[in-house]
Structure formats: C-alpha cells, structure tokens
Amino acid sequence: MSEARRQVEELRERFLAAVQAAADSESLERVRVEALGRRGRVTELAKGVGRLPPEQRREVGQAVNALKRELEAAIRARREVLAREALERRLREERLDVTLPPRERPEGRLHPVSHVLDEIVAIFADMGFAVAEGPDVEDDFHNFTALNIPPAHPARQMQDTFFLETTDAQGEPYLLRTHTSPVQIRTMEAGRPPFRIIAPGRVYRRDYDMTHTPMFHQVEGLLIDRRTHMGHLKGCLVDFVRAFFERDDIPVRFRPSYFPFTEPSAEMDVGCRRSQGQLVVGAGDDWLEVLGCGMVHPKVLEMVGLDPDVWQGFAFGLGVDRFAMLKYGIPDLRTFFEADLRWLRHYGFLPLDVPTTFAGLSR
C-alpha cells in the first residue's frame, strides 16, 4: 500500500470517528470544515493527487473521491440524527400550559324579538307572503277610521293611544300606531289586489304594568284575493303555529271574537299547560290566546276602493314578543326592553342562527 493510500485510510478512520463523535451540529460542522473545507485535510489530499507519480494517480484519486463521498454521506446522516435529536429535545422542552383560557372572541347576539321575527317571516315567506312596512307615526285615518273604528267606537277605548303634539291637515293629532293594522290600509291603498303580505313592526299603547309595556312588536297579516275564506284563515294560521312552535301536535282552536276591521272575527288559542311555573305550549289542559284574526270587513275593503263582492280575504295580528316568550320560555315582557347584558346573552341568538324553513327555525 502506497503512502498516499495509507494516508487516505488514516483520514477515513479519523474523520468517520469524528463525525460519529460530533455531539451537535456545530461540532459536526467543524469536522466537515476540517475534512472537506477549502483547506480541509481531504481537500488538501485531493489537491496533492496531481503531484503523485502517474501510476498512483488514478488509484489514489479514486480513493480520495470515494473518501469524500463517504464522508459527505456520513456527515449528512449524522446531521439528520443530530437534527432529529435536537427536535426531540426541543419538543421535550417546549411545554405550554394548555389549560390557559382561550383568547376571547366577539360574542354578539341578536335580540330574541329579531330572531323570532325572522322565524315568522321565514314561515310566511314560504307560504307566499311578502313583507310590507308602514310608519310608526300614523294619522287618525289609517290607524282608526279606515279600519272601521269611528271616533266614538268603543274599540278606541280598548287601545289607549299615544298622541303627538303635531297634527294632520284636518287638525287631528298624529299618533303612534296602536297596531300594525294601518299597514294593511297603506298596502291596499298603494297596490292592486291580490295581496299577500305580513307587516312587522313596533306598536305603542299607553299601558305599563306587570304584563304590558308601552311599546311592543306585532306582525300583521293580510291575504286578499277572489276566493280566500275562513277555511283558509284557519289552515294558514294552524300551519303557522305548528311550524313556529316546531311541533305538529299543538292543539289549536278558533273562538268568535270582535274586531271592528274583521267580520267574522276570531281569536286563536293554542293548547298549553303550566309546568313548574312555566307556561308550555302543546297538549295540555288549558288554552292560551295567541292571536286575533278574521275576514277583512267589507267596510275596510270599501274604504280602500275594493269591491267587497269581488275581493275577499283574511287579516290577522299577533304579538311578536309574546310569541318569543311562549316559544323560548321568557317569563317577563318588561325584560325585553331593559337591555340587560346577562339577559341578552342568555336569551339572544348567535348571528349564524339564521332561521329558515328548510334548515330549521331554531336550534
């Protein structure tokens, strides 16, 4: 064996051992530089190959190249081992207190009245109703006269009205609408039949006690065409309450009642029972009045220029807040308007709770 070959062999043993002995990537790098760097021992050896006698050049050259490759492979392998060891060490050391409470995210809610209103709209939209609107400030004509409530009618006592200091052209004070029924009138005045609308909104009555607030929410419904009768009225509202309460077995009954703007007039009751102080809608031993309805009074149709011998249909009005209370077991109407943060978080709905009839009204 030539001197050169011996030298190669010597370096090989020495550096392979050094590579294996390198305890971290820095020492491994030092070994690499010492062996394979620009002035490394193996590099120097390779540079010397040219000076060897021709008969040795080839053999030694091949041996040095083989050594280079071997060392490079060994270093690569060692580097991977060291990296893996380093990672394992890091992963052993890096520990977070995963019991720390998460960072807070916004937690907004919709008011139950908004959600329930969306539920009601979803159901009636599915039955072909559009949504109509009217002003909160009304005139005497739309709130009373056009609805067949003449000035001395006892029904005007039933609804204690807020009047404004401003007056209309006739000198009658403007008022805050006592029901959403004027939207019926405005809709029929502005359009042409058939009509199929619901009209949600704020309504106002001079009443403030355990069960009444001076402002609450109603939804008015109106269906006018050439053929709709009381059977449709019943069908529509029974379908509605069963969809709304998400129960097919809710007992429903219609009782004759009185509203100046409908004839015949009815009130709808749903079955209910009292359980642990809470009113639960469904099969039970008691009835609960939930809405008023009836066939639109011929005088109302005449008032908006429709011939009652041609056009006919029904109207209804329901209290949104009350429906919210019944469905979600909210005990006190007054709390709806207090904006108590705990209450809003407790009874409110997430912005992603979008009620639809196909996906469900609520979760």
The residue count for the chain: 363
Cα separations in angstroms, 107 against 102, 113, 115, 249, 258: 14, 18, 16, 35, 45
CA angle, 239 as apex, 238 and 243 as ends, to 5°? 115
Stretch that binds another protein, among 47-55, 58-66, 72-80, 158-166 (CB under 8 A): 158-166
From the CB of 344, what's the least distance to another protein, in Å? 4
Contact code string over 38-77 relative to another protein, x by CB under 8 A: ----------------------------------------
Binders in 230-289 for another protein, by CB under 8 A: 230-232, 234-236, 238-239, 253-258, 263-267
Between helix 54-93 and helix 25-36 the angle, nearest 10°, is 170
Phi, psi of 140 (to 5 degrees): -55, -40
173 binds another protein (CB under 8 A): yes
The stretch near another protein (CB under 8 A) out of 36-44, 53-61, 84-92, 331-339 is 331-339
Task: Specify the pairing of strand 215-225 against strand 312-319.
Answer: antiparallel
Among 195, 322, 336, 361, indicate the residue that binds another protein (CB under 8 A).
336
DSSP 173-189: EEEE-SSSTHHHHHHHH
Which stretch, 6-14, 18-26, 52-60, 170-178, contacts another protein (CB under 8 A)? 170-178
Residue 341 sits in the site that holds another protein (CB under 8 A) = yes
118 touches another protein by CB under 8 A? yes
- ∠ CA 43-45-50, rounded to 5°: 110
Interactions with another protein, residue window 209-228 (CB under 8 A)? 214-215, 223, 228
Q: Which is nearer to another protein, 25 or 114 (CB)?
A: 114
Pick one of 6, 69, 76, 206: the residue that binds another protein (CB under 8 A): 206
Token pair belonging to 346: 């407790």
Binding mask 73-102 for another protein (x = CB under 8 A): ---------------------------xx-
Residue where the block lists tokens 């043993």: 13
Q: Which is nearer to another protein, 266 or 318 (CB)?
A: 266
Number of residues interacting with another protein: please give it, by CB under 8 A: 92
- Nearest approach, Cβ of 55 to another protein (angstroms)? 55
Give, as one character, the DSSP assignment of residue 316. E
What is the DSSP-derived secondary structure letter of residue 266?
Answer: E
Residue 121 interacting with another protein (CB under 8 A)? yes
Please identify which residue in the block is written with the tokens 């005449």: 302
Please tell me the number of Cα atoms within 13 Å of 217 on its side-chain side: 24
Please list the residues that pair with 215 across neighbouring strands. 204
Q: Could you say whether residue 123 binds another protein (CB under 8 A)?
A: no
